[in-house]
Amino acid sequence: MKQKHHAWGWIPTLYFAEGLPYFAVMTMAVIMYQNLGLSDMEIAFYTSWLGIPWVIKPIWSPLIDLVRTKRFWVLSMQALMAATFACVAFFLPTVFFVQATMAFFALLAFSSATHDIAADGLYMLALSPKEQSFFVGIRNTFYRCGSIFGQGVLVMLAGLLAEGKIISSLKGNATLAWALVFYLLSTLFIGLFLFHLFIIPKPNNDKADKHTSAKELFCNFIETVVSFFRKNGIGLALFFILTYRLGESQLAKIAPLFVLASPEKGGLGLSTTTVGGIYGTLGVIALLLGGIVAGIMISRKGLKYWIIPMALAINVPDLLYVILACLQCSELWIVSLFVVIEQFGYGIGFAAYMLYLIYIAKGIYKTSHYAIATGLMAAGMSFPGMIAGYLEEALGYTHFFLIVCLCTLPGIIAAIFIKKQLPESFGKE
């Protein structure tokens, strides 16, 4: 009982600290750069590159086992992220802020990806299998709390600061408003680092693996990767993993920019504060509810039964953005409703996607193969997102969202073929 009480002391804050930097890099940065005058093409291209560390993190994850303890990596990455947030804030008022902040966002992305590896490893070392099962929902909930705080509360704070509603002298100064937000993030991570320095346990089995050489690790890594790509049906699995969210990968980059863009540019002209409230709060809650509903559905009838309806749930609501762009409807309740529907469908479809990654990873190397599968999942989001800005500026918002809807078709087709592979019972356990 004491161990479980102790775990309650550090697991919520650890996974809050894991989620927040990811959403700072992938969502907050998008809105910040739009506020600071960058084009949609620049924003989509630059910020999509920032997702690469989460794609390739399986490459250096073995080094986390070889060098120092998981606890050391967790604490050192939190300290580094605190410093990096401060550097982003410091360089925002400069004339070369794009180059400087992108460099520090890249460092933040690598630090966050490394923190993910170490945090998940510490979770497994510090808790028994029974406790791991008990806390899996808790850790996921607080990871999403990091999402709400980052792309919701902090984006709204930046908007209120820039509007002069908190500090009147900041009115119209988006640069300084965002700098203050990132200084706040730095302060928060200093606090998390100090808190975790005393509260995170020191498991006896959290030791550097000094008996395994770097050469052995490299050979094991190559063997693991090769065995993944030799799985039965891997071609169809790769097609599914890389196309299931092909439409969403482009929509996610442009949708907030569309809502923020002025009506003269074809957007809806909503404020940063409003966008933070819609996407960062209502949208995330809808996403969570969608995931919960999907879990209940799959547990009763299995993934095979639901895979096609869930593929439709994640993709079909993208049509709502075509309607918004055609009508340029900026009624707050309509925009909010459409975002909630789209994110709820995304939550349902994403649950099926993650469960399929567990299915494809099964076998002797299931942990490593799951890491490879999630890396491919991140690649399926990052690389298509790079061209989203080019497409939008060439076609306009309405035609871009139509292209997004066409891009959803391969994922739906892949789901039809994947259904034939899945056993009836998978997901009911």
For 302-315, the three-class secondary structure string (H helix, E strand, C coil) is: CHHHHHHHHHHHHH
Does 321 fall in a domain?
yes
Compute the mean pLDDT over every residue in the chain, rounded to the nearest whole number.
89
Q: Buried (b) or exposed (e) across 238-266, using 16+ Cβ within 10 A? A: bbbbbbbbbbbbbbbbbbbbbbbbeeeee
Residues 10, 14, 20: CA angle, nearest 5 degrees:
150
Residue 204 has pLDDT above 90, yes or no: no
pLDDT tens, position by position, 336-357: 999 999 999 999 998 889 889 8
Q: What is the mean pLDDT of residues 49-55?
A: 89
Q: What is the mean pLDDT of residues 283-308?
A: 89
Predicted pLDDT at 211: 66
pLDDT tens, position by position, 226-244: 888 999 889 999 999 999 9
121 and 20 part of one domain: yes
The closest of 120, 139, 138, 150 to 20, measured between CA atoms, is: 150
Residue 338 to residue 335: CA distance in whole angstroms: 5
The one-letter amino acid code at 76 reads S
pLDDT tens, position by position, 258-287: 999 999 999 999 999 999 999 888 988 998
Q: What is the mean pLDDT of residues 156-180?
A: 94
Share of the chain above pLDDT 90, in %: 56
Predicted pLDDT at 212: 67
**Tokens standing for residue 291:** 């995931």
Q: What is the mean pLDDT of residues 36-46?
A: 92
183 and 218 part of one domain: no
161 and 285 part of one domain: no
Residue 27 has pLDDT above 70, yes or no: yes
1 and 121 part of one domain: yes
Predicted pLDDT at 140: 78
Does 319 fall in a domain?
yes
The residue out of 202, 231, 254 marking a domain boundary is: 202
| CA distances for 397 relative to 36, 138, 307, angstroms | 20, 38, 30
Residue 305 has pLDDT above 60, yes or no: yes
Residue 275 to residue 171: CA distance in whole angstroms: 18
Q: H-helix or E-strand containing 371?
A: helix 366-395
117 and 264 part of one domain: no
249 and 359 part of one domain: yes
129 and 158 part of one domain: yes
| DSSP 8-state secondary structure symbol assigned to residue 51 | T
Residue 159 to residue 136: CA distance in whole angstroms: 34
pLDDT tens, position by position, 94-140: 999 999 999 999 999 999 999 988 888 888 788 877 777 677 778 87
Predicted pLDDT at 223: 85
Predicted pLDDT at 358: 83
Q: Is 222 exposed, middle or buried (0-12, 13-18, 19+ CB in 10 A)?
A: exposed
Predicted pLDDT at 310: 94
Domain of residue 386, residue span: 212-429
Predicted pLDDT at 308: 95
Q: What is the mean pLDDT of residues 154-161?
A: 94
254 and 188 part of one domain: no
230 and 341 part of one domain: yes
**Model pTM greater than 0.75?**
yes
The residue out of 162, 181, 202 marking a domain boundary is: 202
